[in-house]
Amino acid sequence: MTATPFNLLLLTSVLWPLFLVLMLTFKKFHTQLLYLIPWTALPALVVIAVAPNTVTQVELPWLLLGGTYALDTTGKTFMLLAALLWSVSGVYARSYFNQTQKQVRFYRYFLLAMAGNFILILAQDPLSFYFGFALMSFSSYGLVVFKKSAIAVRAGVVYIALVLLGEVMLFAALLMATQTAESTMFSVIRESVIQSPNHNVIIFLTLIGFGIKVGILGLHVWLPLAYSAAPAPASAVLSGTMINAGILGWLRFLPLGETALPDWGTGIIILGLAAAFYGVGIGLTQRDPKTILAYSSISQMGVITILLGLGILAPQMWPLILPGIAFYALHHGLSKGALFLGADLCGSKQHRDRRRIWLGLWLPALALSGAPLTSGVIAKHLAKSYALHSPAPWETLLPLLLSISAVATALLMARLLYLLRPSAKPYGSIPTYGLVWPWIVLLLIIVLTPILVGYSFEYALNNQLFASLWPLLLSLIISIAVYKVRIFHIIKPISAGDLLVVFESTLKILQNGVKQLNSFGKNYTTIQHQTKARMNVIQTAFLTKIGQIESTLVRWEFAMLFMLIIIVIVGFFALEKIYE
């Protein structure tokens, strides 16, 4: 490794949160540390500010199984988003919790997850990425169950089960990819994965493994549960930056821009489309703002998934699409972070406070809906321009579908703003100074984002105004119509975690079905009782059976018998040989 000042700074930005976690072990430093910790992500911001244009790799051959770290172009966007959100949420959390003990407990998991997030962004080899990913995923468990309510515990179980599933799938994918590539560098793996006879398996495992984090349809069930269960600053980073770890994983691992894989491409686009609409569809029925935001994330990640599918379908377009995906992730992350924090600020009973916060919330909501002059319109415009150049039949279908999805997103945002309207019941925390100012900073960043990326407003006003306005106007009309018809009073909200609930209730229905069959013509309650007892008996019998097998196996007579059998068999062979 060349110890240039920049490289040292790069390493410091990653080690800093880990160092602070270590320092938290010492109780006597807690007071001082709590002043420092909210700002832990600042070195990472400095890193991005001073990053040279040429990418230099930091080789750490002694670390794990040899690590390579660098801040490349894609990484820079993700790092920027991560550094911003971890900073804002870090400051927010300081005022969110009023007891030192809670702050310390929260920051412990928070800092570990932050370090994992930074490591995976900088990682240029799959093992380092996997390490960062694991560190982040397992530490965030502490954030998900932080409130210790029954809801949080249930969310935690679903979360950790899916994390583990993702971990082992990625483990298998990594092994196969590494074995084919005979290298542990992303650049080599991306090129050579396709030569593996197992490349379909590898792609599938990668897609699902990271898809769990992204919340692709079917594996999204943890998102609504975890986001609404976690404390607001944790939800902000979970939905804003940690979700992007899955996207970044796809970008790093999948053979994008190499070979066209039409089947995979089409499949992924369809998957993305499904998530984009499904997320909004379920989200609209929800009444909890944080759950709505979670479903909005599922839908927005669906849009990114569509772009990814385009890249697999048409590799020649990939160099164009890649920065688009990165920008989309940045835009979504900032807006979603601001929405989560803003939604949490609606706890005041005073109408004036509520109205101010509510007006502030319009900004990220509009940005997410792709309103003119926001980052959203850039992101939507980029997505649509790729769609227009995509291979048939997508070039006609996709732009339209993307516009409809924009309408859908706007509807969802309208629903959110309606639920958080100043006259509604207070929700979340009382907006104190320490909570509000980091949020305002985040809002300012969202305002400035289009300017910072050099977006031409003049051009926008002349050419895209109508294109970006009509989905908004349409959704406004629909929203007003819906409000007048009072349709939401009729709709019953689908339980957060939709499919999970379907899964759970299928189990229940099956159980009930068995009961029904049994209770044919008999008194139901006694049958219910009997069934329950019978289930218990079966369960106990099963456990006893296992116990019995083991207790047979661990009897010494059994072991002796086993060894004697070995001797007899062996002796038999020996005798046979002798008398042959």
Residue 574 binds another protein (CB under 8 A): yes
| Position 178 contacts another protein (CB under 8 A) | yes
Report the candidate in 34, 23, 19 with the shortest Cα–Cα distance to residue 95. Answer: 34
- The answer to whether 130 contacts another protein (rule: CB under 8 A) is yes
* Contact letters for another protein, residues 489-528 (x by CB under 8 A): ----------------------------------------
Taking the least distance from each CB to another protein, the nearer of 108 and 331 is 108
72 lines the binding site for another protein (CB under 8 A): no
Alpha carbon 306 to chain centroid, angstroms: 16
DSSP annotation of 60? E
Helices 375-388, 351-369: axis angle to 10 degrees equals 20
Query: What are the residues whose beta carbons fall under 8 Å from the beta carbon of 97, sequence distance 6 or more?
Result: 103, 106, 231
The residue from 172, 188, 320, 502 that contacts another protein (CB under 8 A) is: 172
Residue 504 beta carbon to another protein: minimum distance, rounded to whole angstroms = 20
With beta carbons less than 8 A apart as the criterion, state whether 287 and 270 touch.
Answer: no
In the complex, the smallest distance separating the C-beta of residue 537 from another protein, rounded to whole angstroms, is 18
63 scored as a contact of another protein (CB under 8 A): yes
Count of residues in contact with another protein, rule CB under 8 A: 47
With binding defined as CB under 8 A, does residue 568 bind another protein?
no
Q: 54, 352, 576, 579: which one contacts another protein (CB under 8 A)?
A: 576
Task: Give the residue from 190, 293, 173 showing the smallest Cα distance to 232.
Answer: 293
Least distance between another protein and beta carbon 574 (Å):
6
309 binds another protein (CB under 8 A): no
Asked whether position 466 contacts another protein by CB under 8 A, the answer is no
Which residues within the stretch 20-39 sit at the binding site for another protein (CB under 8 A)?
25
* Token code pair at residue 324: 């688009």
The reply to whether 562 sits near another protein by the rule CB under 8 A is yes
Q: Does 425 participate in binding another protein (rule CB under 8 A)?
A: no
Residue 74 and residue 229 in contact, taking contact as beta carbons nearer than 8 Å: no
Stretch that binds another protein, among 238-246, 288-296, 519-527, 571-579 (CB under 8 A): 571-579
Q: Indicate the burial class of 72 (C-beta count within 10 angstroms; 0-12, 13-18, 19 or more).
A: middle
Which DSSP string do the residues of 278-346 spell out, in sequence order?
A: HHHHHHHT--SHHHHHHHHHHHHHHHHHHHHHHHHH-GGGHHHHHHHHHHHHHHHHHHHHHHHHHHHTT
Selected binder of another protein within 8, 36, 50, 168 (CB under 8 A): 168
131 binds another protein (CB under 8 A): yes
- State which residue, 61 or 513, has the beta carbon closest to another protein: 61
Cα–Cα distances (Å) from 536 to 316, 515, 531, 532, 533, in that order, read 60, 14, 8, 6, 5
Work out how close the CB of 347 gets to another protein at its nearest, in angstroms, rounded to a whole number.
Answer: 26
Which residue stretch of 12-20, 51-59, 346-354, 561-569 sits at the interface with another protein (rule: CB under 8 A)?
561-569
> Which residue among 55, 164, 514, 541 contacts another protein (CB under 8 A)?
164
The single residue among 9, 33, 104, 127 that binds another protein, judged by CB under 8 A, is 127
Name residues whose C-beta falls within 8 Å of residue 440's C-beta, 6 or more positions apart in sequence.
360
Q: Quick check: helix, strand or coil at residue 117? A: helix
Q: Can residue 538 be called a binding residue for another protein (CB under 8 A)?
A: no
CB of 13 to another protein, least distance (A): 18
The correct pick among 32, 61, 452, 517 for binding another protein (CB under 8 A) is 61
- Does residue 66 touch another protein according to CB under 8 A? yes
- At 497, is the secondary structure helix, strand, or coil? coil
Name the amino acid, one letter, at 202: I
Q: For residues 221 and 92, give the distance between their C-alpha atoms in angstroms, rounded to a whole number.
A: 27
Burial of 366: CB neighbours in 10 Å, binned 0-12, 13-18, 19+: buried
Distance between CA atoms of residues 41 and 88, nearest Å: 9
What minimum distance in Å lies between the beta carbon of 209 and another protein?
Answer: 12
Indicate whether 555 belongs to the interface with another protein (CB under 8 A). yes
Exactly one of 175, 400, 430, 477 binds another protein (CB under 8 A); that residue is 175
Which residues neighbour 547 within 8 Å (Cβ) at sequence distance 6 or greater? none
Could you say whether residue 457 binds another protein (CB under 8 A)?
no
Residue 505: both structure tokens together: 């209730």
Among 142, 302, 333, 497, interactor with another protein by CB under 8 A: 142
Distance CA 439, CA 343 (A): 11
Between 135 and 214, CB nearer to another protein: 135
Least distance from another protein to the Cβ atom of residue 118, Å = 15
> How far, in Å, are 39, 117, 161, 230, 295 from residue 221 at the CA level?
32, 22, 11, 15, 10
Instruction: Find the shortest distance in angstroms from Cβ 157 to another protein.
Output: 9
287: contact with another protein by CB under 8 A = no
Least distance in angstroms from the C-beta of 531 to another protein:
25
Site residues for another protein per CB under 8 A: 25, 61-66, 127, 130-131, 134-135, 138, 142, 145, 148, 160, 164, 167-168, 171-172, 175-176, 178-179, 543, 546-547, 550, 553-556, 558-560, 562-563, 566-567, 569-570, 573-574, 576-577
